[in-house]
Amino acid sequence: MNDKVRILIPPGMGDAYWVLVKLPAFLRKMGYGKPELTIASHPSHGGSHLRSIPYLELFDFFTIGNPPSVANDTTLDAVWHEAYVGPGRSIIPCVQGYDWLVSYNGLLWQGNYIEDDDLACDWYPKMLHVDQMDTWADTYRNKFGPYVALSWPFYGSYAFYWQEFSLDSIAEALRIFLLETGLRPVFIGAHWEPEINPMMSELQAKLGLDYVDYAGQTSMVQLFSLLKGSELFAGYQSGLSIASAFLHNKTLALWCRGQFHDNMRWACVPPDTRNVNYIALDTVGLTTPLLIDELKNLHSKTKS
């Protein structure tokens, strides 16, 4: 008999992080041992529904299910709405044959803070391979010199972002910032992005500067190492911007009002990083001079 508790979680890296922040307290409350986590998501082209698996493999206080992902049961749309986008429960029992579904997306999207309930937050769950990441970070610094890690996924719902603050404006701000600081641009991202993100090449061309494109060419350990080795991270909000803040890296993330509650851009990262080494800007009303100033101010901060 298999008595291991089995938990469904949403598919993204940021989504998984919020679960991991709350999971130790939930396990203690319920008296559970090491649980099994499974992603609930329909299979997608390029395997992006499995994008958080390499991230989950960086932790060892749970195991990953076999199979690691199951498709959503359409008869449970109401349950998913409550947990994923609605203001209801974040922990729901007996979903699709699993013991629990855990998702803090809905709570965050409604403008709430996940620290405001009876389960303590462990904002910095212990990661594996940290020493290896530090070694790789030194390697990247030696290889590239001082650099900024960049991630600009110009696809899907991010279309709303560049409608508010254009690609040309992003390129101009980055170009001026990079020229003034002498930092080298290093582009990072997931393995499926080069195929679905052709506008990235346009941004790179508009910079007119020497750059490194590592998007889709790294393991998760190497990706985190690139973040740790960088002077700062800049890009659209994503799992990478959340990971960068988690690593106490200087992080500037662009958010788009109307896509999320305004509170979410702060509630998604550890409290001690908010407006310290993590800066979240709204694309609505953003100007090139303001973005340049925020990048320069962030770069001038002492890395925590």
pLDDT in tens, 244-298: 999 999 999 999 988 889 999 999 999 999 999 999 999 999 999 999 999 999 9
* Greater pLDDT, 226 or 258: 226
Q: What is the pLDDT of residue 35?
A: 98
Rounded to the nearest 5 degrees, what angle is found at the Cα of 168, between the Cα atoms of 211 and 154? 75
Task: Tell me the percentage of the chain whose pLDDT exceeds 70.
Answer: 97
Rounded to the nearest 5 degrees, what angle is found at the Cα of 243, between the Cα atoms of 233 and 183? 15
Q: What is the pLDDT of residues 127-143, one digit of tens each?
A: 999 999 999 999 999 99
Least confident window among 33-42, 45-54, 113-122, 286-295:
45-54
Domain ranges of the chain: 6-109, 130-300
Mean pLDDT of 168-176: 98
Sign of CA dihedral 269, 271, 274, 280: positive
Q: What is the pLDDT of residue 304?
A: 60
For 4-22, give one letter per residue: b (16+ CB within 10 A) or e.
Answer: ebbbbbbbbbbbbbbbbbb
For the chain, the first-to-last Cα distance in angstroms comes to: 47
For 27, the enclosing helix (H) or strand (E) is helix 13-30
Q: What is the pLDDT of residue 1?
A: 38
Q: How far is the CA of 191 from the CAs of 151, 181, 241, in angstroms?
A: 13, 29, 17
pLDDT at 81 over 80: yes
For 174, the enclosing helix (H) or strand (E) is helix 167-181
Phi-psi map region of 165: left, alpha, beta (phi>0 left; psi -120 to 50 alpha): beta
Task: Identify whether the C-beta of residue 246 lies closer than 8 Å to the C-beta of residue 270.
Answer: yes
Q: How far is the CA of 163 from the CAs of 147, 169, 241, 283, 284, in angstroms?
A: 28, 11, 20, 9, 9
Q: How confident is the model at residue 48 (pLDDT cuts 50, 70, 90)?
A: low
CATH classification code of 130-300: 3.40.50.2000
Q: How far apart are CA 115 and CA 271, in angstroms?
A: 9
